[in-house]
Amino acid sequence: MFFAKFFRRFEPAPEATLRLYGTVVAKARDPVFYAGLAVPDTVNGRFDMVVIHAMLVLRRLRGEGVHADVTGKALLELLFSDMDRSLREMGVGDMGLKHHIKRMAKAMFGRAQAYEAGLDGEASALIEALKDNLYRHTQANADQITRMADYLRRAAHHVAGESVAEIIAGNVNLNVPVTGASHAG
């Protein structure tokens, strides 16, 4: 019995994962992205912003051990569960749900990969990733796209400094200001 405590499988507390996901979604809903940086205030635009912020957290957790991996997996499961719920609320039935979730998962992982490649490469690569994904259906100007790329680089740097233990506990600070964006609401 004593050793069972040390060898049982780690599972993050549901409250911690909910808090972590709630922080990601709250930052993704920040009006500055939509009013100041021309992110489309649509289902797809909001989905893209959730993907960006989840990617930043998952990027920080990568390679940080079993507990971090399990937390990242739990965050993704919650994200997909939320997508499932949202699609049902929008009227997608059981028959089409699997197709929609599969398409959204493919889009999410493709976008996250493009953003990460942009973060790890030249500034122009991140701008192209943003144009191809986040801004694919907008008339955003070059300044707005550049400010989003700047925000994303600063946010990635900020999250990279966050404590993995705190993230596993459900606490991540995503309070990175968006410079030069209006706060019209």
Q: How confident is the model at residue 88 (pLDDT cuts 50, 70, 90)?
A: low
Query: Does 66 fall in a domain?
Result: yes
3-state secondary structure the chain: CCCHHHHCCCCCCHHHHHHHHHHHHHHHCCHHHHHCCCCCCCHHHHHHHHHHHHHHHHHHHCCCCHHHHHHHHHHHHHHHHHHHHHHHHCCCCHHHHHHHHHHHHHHHHHHHHHHHHHHHCCHHHHHHHHHHCCCCCCCCCHHHHHHHHHHHHHHHHHHHCCCHHHHHCCCCCCCCCCCCCCCCC
pLDDT digits (tens, 9 = 90+) for 103-161: 777 888 888 899 999 999 888 999 999 999 999 988 889 999 999 999 999 999 999 99
What's the chain's length in residues?
185
Between 13 and 77, the higher pLDDT residue: 77
What are the tokens at 170? Answer: 């459900």
Between 182 and 129, the higher pLDDT residue: 129
Query: Does 37 fall in a domain?
Result: yes
Least confident of 29-38, 97-106, 167-176: 97-106
pLDDT at 13: 62
Query: Does 52 fall in a domain?
Result: yes
Alpha carbon distance 61, 72 (integer Å): 7
Query: Does 117 fall in a domain?
Result: yes
Alpha carbon distance 145, 151 (integer Å): 10
Please name the amino acid found at residue 4: A
Give the number of domains in the chain.
Answer: 1
Between 163 and 184, the higher pLDDT residue: 163
Query: Does 92 fall in a domain?
Result: yes
Query: Does 43 fall in a domain?
Result: yes
* Owning domain of residue 84: 11-168
Alpha carbon distance 157, 55 (integer Å): 13
Alpha carbon distance 132, 184 (integer Å): 26
pLDDT at 97: 65
Mean pLDDT of the chain: 85
Query: Does 184 fall in a domain?
Result: no
Query: Does 82 fall in a domain?
Result: yes
Q: Which of 136, 107, 126 is nearest to 40 (CA)?
A: 136
